[in-house]
Chain A
Amino acid sequence: MRWFHAGRFAAMVGKEFVQMRRDRLTFAMMIGIPLIQLILFGYAINSDPRHLPTAVLSADNSRYSRAVTTSMQTSTFFNITVHAESRAEARQLLREGRVQFCLTIPENFGRDLVRGQRPVLLLEADATDPTATGNAAAAFPEIVRRALARELTGPHAGLNQGESPVDIRIHNDFNPEAETQYNIVPGLMGVILTLTLVMITSLAITRESERGTMEHLLSTPIRPLEVMLGKIIPYILVGYIQMTLIIAAARFLFDVPMHGSVLLTFALSIIFIGANLSVGVTISTMARNQLQAVQMSIFFFLPSLLLSGFMFPFRGMPEWAQAVGSILPLTHYLRLIRGILLKGNGLAESLHAVWPILLFWLVVVALGLKRYRRTLD
Chain B
Amino acid sequence: MPAETVIQVRGLTKSFNGKVVVNGLDMEIGRGEIYGFLGPNGSGKTTSIRMLCGLLRPDSGSGTCLGHDILTQSDRIKPHVGYMTQRFSLYEDLTVRENLEFTARVFSLDRPAHVVAECIERMGLGQFDGHLAGTLSGGWKQRLSLGVSTLHSPRLLLLDEPTAGVDPGARRDFWDQVHQLAAQGITALISTHYMDEAERCHRLAYIAYGDLLASGTADELVSDSGLTTWSVTSDDHDEHGADLHDLAARLKSLEGVDQVVHFGNTLHVSTRDQKILENSTGALRTAPYRWTRIETSLEEVFIDLMNGAGRGRT
Contact = CB atoms under 8 A, between A and B. Distances in A.
A24 B132 CA distance: 15
B105 A212 contact: no
B93 A212 contact: no
B91 interface: yes
Contacts of B50: 376
B94 A18 contact: yes
A8 B89 contact: no
A219 B57 contact: no
A7 interface: yes
A346 interface: no
Contact of B55 (A8, A215, A221): A215
Contact of A220 (B57, B91, B98, B106): B106
Contacts of A213: 89-91
A373 to B, nearest CB: 10
B56 A377 contact: yes
A218 interface: yes
A218 to B, nearest CB: 6
Contacts of A22: 93-94, 132
Q: What's the dominant secondary structure at chain A's contact region?
A: helix
A219 B52 CA distance: 11
A219 B94 contact: no
Nearest to B103: A220
Given A220-B78, A376-B50, A377-B56, A11 B106 contact: yes
Contacts of A156: none
A7 B89 contact: no
B84 to A, nearest CB: 9
A377 B53 CA distance: 13
Interface string B100-126: 011101111000000000000000000
A23 B132 CA distance: 13
B106 A8 contact: yes
Contact of A218 (B55, B94, B105): B55
A220 B56 contact: no
Contacts of A221: 75, 78-79, 106-108
A219 B102 contact: no
B105 A377 contact: no
B87 interface: yes
Contact of B93 (A23, A220, A377): A23
Interface string A211-228: 111111111111000000
Contacts of A63: none
Interface residues on A, range: 20 to 34
A327 interface: no
Contacts of A10: 105
Best-buried of A5, A211, A219 by chain B (most CB within 10 Å):
A219
A375 interface: yes
Contacts of A216: 83, 85, 89-90, 148
Contacts of B198: none
A221 B93 CA distance: 22
Contacts of A19: 91, 93-94
A251 to B, nearest CB: 37
Best-buried of A2, A216, A221, A222 by chain B (most CB within 10 Å):
A216
A19 B106 CA distance: 16
Contacts of B148: 216
Given A19-B94, A213-B89, A375 B54 contact: yes
A306 interface: no
A326 to B, nearest CB: 40
Best-buried of A10, A215, A217 by chain B (most CB within 10 Å):
A215
A212 B78 CA distance: 18
A15 interface: yes
Interface string B109-147: 000000000000000000000001000000000000000
Nearest to A376: B55
Contacts of A106: none
A2 B81 CA distance: 18
A217 B91 CA distance: 10
A215 B89 contact: yes
B71 to A, nearest CB: 11
Contacts of B87: 212, 215
B55 A15 contact: no
Contacts of A18: 93-94, 98
Interface string A1-26: 01001011011101100110011000
Nearest to A227: B106
Contact of A15 (B75, B88, B91, B108): B91
Nearest to A216: B89
B92 interface: yes
Contacts of A7: 105, 108
Given A15-B98, A213-B90, A215-B85, 11 more contacts: A2-B75, A7-B105, A15-B91, A15-B102, A19-B91, A22-B132, A213-B91, A215-B83, A215-B87, A219-B85, A221-B106
17 contacts: A8-B105, A11-B101, A11-B105, A12-B106, A22-B132, A23-B93, A212-B88, A213-B91, A215-B83, A219-B53, A219-B54, A219-B55, A219-B78, A219-B85, A220-B107, A222-B106, A376-B56
Interface of B: 50, 53-57, 75, 78-79, 81, 83, 85, 87-94, 98, 101-103, 105-108, 132, 148
Interface of A: 2, 5, 7-8, 10-12, 14-15, 18-19, 22-23, 211-222, 375-377
